[in-house]
Amino acid sequence: MHRRKWLDRREFLGNMGSGLGSIALACLLEEQAGAAPPASPLAPRAPMFPARAKRVIQIFCPGAVSQLDTWDYKPELIRLHDQPMPGAPPTTFQGTNGNLMKSPYGWSQKGQCGKWVSDMLPELANCVDDIAFVHSMTARSNTHGPGLLQMNTGYVFDGFPSVGAWVTYALGSESQDLPAFVVIPDMRGMPPNGPSNWMSGFLPAAFQGTAFNTDQPITNLRSPATSTDKREQDMRRYLAGLNSEYDAHNPGYSELAARVSSYELAARMQLSAPEVTDISKESPETLRMYGADSPNPLKAGYARNSILARRLLERGVRFVELYCGSRASGVDGLLNWDAHKTLKADYDRHGPILDQPTAALLKDLKQRGLLHDTLVLWTTEFGRMPTHQTGTAGRDHNPAGFTAWMAGAGVKGGVSYGATDDFGYKAATDVATIYDYHATVLHLLGLDHKKLSYYHDGLKRRLTDVFGEVIKPILA
């Protein structure tokens, strides 16, 4: 009931006039005095204005997916294949580049909207009428680590809160027995930067992402192997008594009661988390639709994780981040989308892993009536060059232009926003930034990116720094 507590909505929703000092105090919530239950940092909170999206799933393909072999169709690139690129930079991330290189994949028009997509992703190609593509994305770094950080946190440095942390800081969670912000790492391992991608940064630890997938449960979820259910219950009962005695001697400290509640929530989570990760009760049709029956273990693994993502969203988890690909391995393009040398071979491996499960997730959300208030994001850290890398059949990093997309809640389907130049090198029309993308995500969640802030080190920090414009043309 006093001292530092959780965020106070009245204040954090944009008390601009009173100076940051008062926000610094007020961004940590005053709980209600008296008998009211202690506020959990993850209690659901209303948005700033009516929201189109209630929850978010962000699919992340680390390694920098080539826009030129997936979504960004460039007839000129095909026509001028093997010619020098006018205005080519002397060097990019790994060095020099050769001539223009058309995609090794064919292209065709799909959906009502007639969107050109590559043959690499045949199932997702059938979903284009639900998708809003942003083809003019730009990033601030041409290096994976900082690139992933920017896509996840808005900053190229370690230490800043991720999108999921910001969203749960603002909105709490609808689920009181699952973590509010769940990260599902690829079964091949962690993405570049590891947990920095879902850190709460300077936001309180309650808002950091909790990582688990169908193979790896939440850390410390299970009771000690040597214990029994009865022992756990006996201990909890004893502990409750011990705490109530202490708390009675210390009236006026609501955080003591909050801590007791957190133990109760933990006990519920021990039951609900194994339930949510157990996909064996899903129908055979569902498992097949996602490709969980695939003989390719990597595809089956990503399919299981995609089903897990849907189950989490159904149960009210606010923000899910689902990875398709892992870290840099020393062999470019092997474990993630970093196709420096042998693009065709790499993407023949990654494409099928991503394609069917992701398409199934979109369809499944739709048929269950979840897509209208679930925002689906597809992201990667930056794009790749239209030229081939000197001495290889791969493409080097390119932060000057790449594609990301959104689908679902409040997003127009079958539209494309912005464009790169004729070769797909630089964003040229309606240039968009990661700040814009984030601003749009927050907007769809009913949050003004200029007002959602947290005081840290002398600054009112935002996900979008001092930048960002909502990309209105893709809003339904």
Identified binder of other proteins from the candidate list 234, 275, 278, 293, rule CB under 8 A: 234
Q: Provide the 8-state DSSP code for 25.
A: H
CA distance 133 to 326: 24
User: Footprint of other proteins on residues 355-394 (CB under 8 A)?
Assistant: 390-393
By CB under 8 A, residue 226 contacts other proteins = yes
By CB under 8 A, residue 238 contacts other proteins = yes
By CB under 8 A, residue 98 contacts other proteins = yes
DSSP one-letter string for 398-460: ETTSEEEEEEETTB-SSEEE-EE-TTS-SEEES-EEHHHHHHHHHHHTT--TTTBEEEETTEE
Identified binder of other proteins from the candidate list 89, 104, 111, 316, rule CB under 8 A: 89
Q: How many residues interact with other proteins (rule CB under 8 A)? A: 101
Residue with tokens 């979840």: 370
By CB under 8 A, residue 329 contacts other proteins = yes
Residue with tokens 């209630």: 54
Q: Helix, strand or coil for residue 57?
A: strand
Identified binder of other proteins from the candidate list 8, 12, 13, 30, rule CB under 8 A: 30
What minimum distance in Å lies between the beta carbon of 61 and other proteins? 16
Considering beta carbons, is residue 32 or 296 the nearer one to other proteins?
A: 32
CA distance 252 to 255: 9
What minimum distance in Å lies between the beta carbon of 119 and other proteins? 21
Identified binder of other proteins from the candidate list 179, 185, 383, 446, rule CB under 8 A: 179
By CB under 8 A, residue 242 contacts other proteins = yes
| Phi, psi (degrees; rounded to nearest 5) at 106 | -80, 170
Determine contact, residues 197/190, Cβ cutoff 8 Å: no
- Judged by phi (left if over 0) then psi (alpha if -120 to 50, else beta), residue 182 lies in beta
User: Footprint of other proteins on residues 37-66 (CB under 8 A)?
Assistant: 40-42
What minimum distance in Å lies between the beta carbon of 349 and other proteins? 15
By CB under 8 A, residue 247 contacts other proteins = yes
What minimum distance in Å lies between the beta carbon of 180 and other proteins? 10
Stretch touching other proteins by CB under 8 A, among 118-126, 256-264, 303-311, 354-362: 256-264
By CB under 8 A, residue 330 contacts other proteins = yes
Determine contact, residues 279/307, Cβ cutoff 8 Å: yes
Burial 392-405 (b: 16+ CB within 10 A, else e): bbbbbbbbbbbbbb
Angle of helix 434-444 relative to helix 163-171, nearest 10 degrees, comes to 30
What minimum distance in Å lies between the beta carbon of 114 and other proteins? 33
By CB under 8 A, residue 201 contacts other proteins = yes
Determine contact, residues 150/384, Cβ cutoff 8 Å: no
What mask of x and - would describe binding to other proteins in positions 130 to 149, judged by CB under 8 A? ------------xxxxx-x-
